[in-house]
Structure 1
Amino acid sequence: MHLQGVADAITCRTFPTTLKGAARLWFSRLAPNSISTFKELSAQFTAHFIGGHQYKKSTACLMSIKQQEEETLRAYISRFNKEALSIDEADDKILVAAFMNGLKEGKFLFSLYKNDSKTMSEVLYRATKYINAKDALLAREDRPKKRERQEDIQQDQGRKKVRTGN
């Protein structure tokens, strides 16, 4: 609008139509006729919301993320990725190093060291495969014992029928 040479009064009236949430609430609480120029409105808006600006963190904070003793790999990945998103332009090698640094000792960490992963996407792919394999093994172990008992009962019944001739 500034480039088009639109008057301040019109700019001030159209500005609130672009607001949502907290910004809209802030604007609605302004005293009527308390602002006379768009520059003034802009300055008040900036002064009010500048504290809410979230600055990007440095990659060094990723090194402090550690997998907790009882934390699953899936939960650690989720927590790590959430933090990694708050890093401005994180280098892939640093992400991999920080991720591996935070992993608790175990088979997955050993496999990462054994087969050098170069990118974070490769690490996450391997982690997904590891999680899926572990889930499959757990599901296999947790097969309902009922099924095995039912098979035993059916075998016993079959033997009884053969013995009794029924």
Structure 2
Amino acid sequence: MPQVESYDRSKDPLDHLESFKTMMHLQGVPDEIMCRAFLTTLKGPARIWYSRLTPNSIITFKELGAQFVSHFIGDHRYKKSIACLMSIRQREDEMLRSYISRFNKEALSIDEADDKILVAAFTNGLRKGKFLFSLYKNDPKTMSDVLYRVTKYMNVEDALLA
């Protein structure tokens, strides 16, 4: 059975709640069991919060979820906008591998980014050079295409350095 990572205020409370609900609903767990089982996914201050709830004051998991979110909403991680991607630039001394890692980390924090935007933002941030020229020459359509070409290019670079 898959497990939900414990919530200790270091992560997004909405994400934690949705992960828990998804796991419980997939297993067909009734509402009252969900209310009791939720405690097993809490640590530290969140566990203390749960233990201080007035007994029998919550009837449904929906109520428990609403109270949990309203109490820990300050820990909610807001998604970044696409504009953040457009500001990522490969530094002069930065290897391509490092730039890709930074770019992908930021791209994962953006919900609405489609492939065309990702490709445009990625190529926009590359410093001028042979790789950028090769991308413009063959115009990749998807981020998968870009990453495939990046990998090939880095392998050649590594081979030449060796």
TM-score in same-fold range (> 0.5): yes
Report the structure number with the largest CA radius of gyration: 1
Q: Is the 2:85–2:121 contact (alpha carbons within 8 Å) kept by the matching residues of 1?
A: yes
Match runs of 1:123-142 below 5 Å: 123-139=146-162
The CA distance in 1 between the partners of 2:34 and 2:115, in whole Å, is 44
Aligned to 2:109: 86
Q: Report the CA distance shift for 1:54/1:32 in structure 2 as closer, same or farther (over 3 A).
A: closer
The CA distance in 2 between the partners of 1:13 and 1:128, in whole Å, is 48
Ranges in structure 2 where 5+ consecutive residues have no aligned partner = 1-23
Match runs of 1:87-106 below 5 Å: 87-106=110-129
Q: CA RMSD in A?
A: 2.7
Total equivalences in the alignment: 133
The CA distance in 2 between the partners of 1:4 and 1:127, in whole Å, is 46
Aligned to 1:28: 48
Q: Which amino acid aligns with 1:92?
A: D
Q: Secondary structure at the match of 2:120?
A: helix
Residue number among 64, 70, 78 corresponding to 1:47 in the alignment: 70
Ranges in structure 1 where 5+ consecutive residues have no aligned partner = 140-166
Q: Which amino acid aligns with 1:37?
A: S
The CA distance in 2 between the partners of 1:124 and 1:136, in whole Å, is 18
Q: TM-score, normalised by structure 1?
A: 0.68
Q: Is the 1:35–1:41 contact (alpha carbons within 8 Å) kept by the matching residues of 2?
A: no
The CA distance in 2 between the partners of 1:35 and 1:43, in whole Å, is 16
Q: Is the 2:88–2:103 contact (alpha carbons within 8 Å) kept by the matching residues of 1?
A: yes
Residue number among 125, 137, 147 corresponding to 1:114 in the alignment: 137
Q: TM-score, normalised by structure 2?
A: 0.69
Q: Indicate the percent of aligned positions where both proteins have the same amino acid.
A: 65
Q: Report the CA distance shift for 1:112/1:36 in structure 2 as closer, same or farther (over 3 A).
A: same
The CA distance in 2 between the partners of 1:6 and 1:59, in whole Å, is 38
Considering Cα pairs closer than 8 Å and 6+ residues apart, tell me whether 1 or 2 has the greater RCO.
Answer: 2
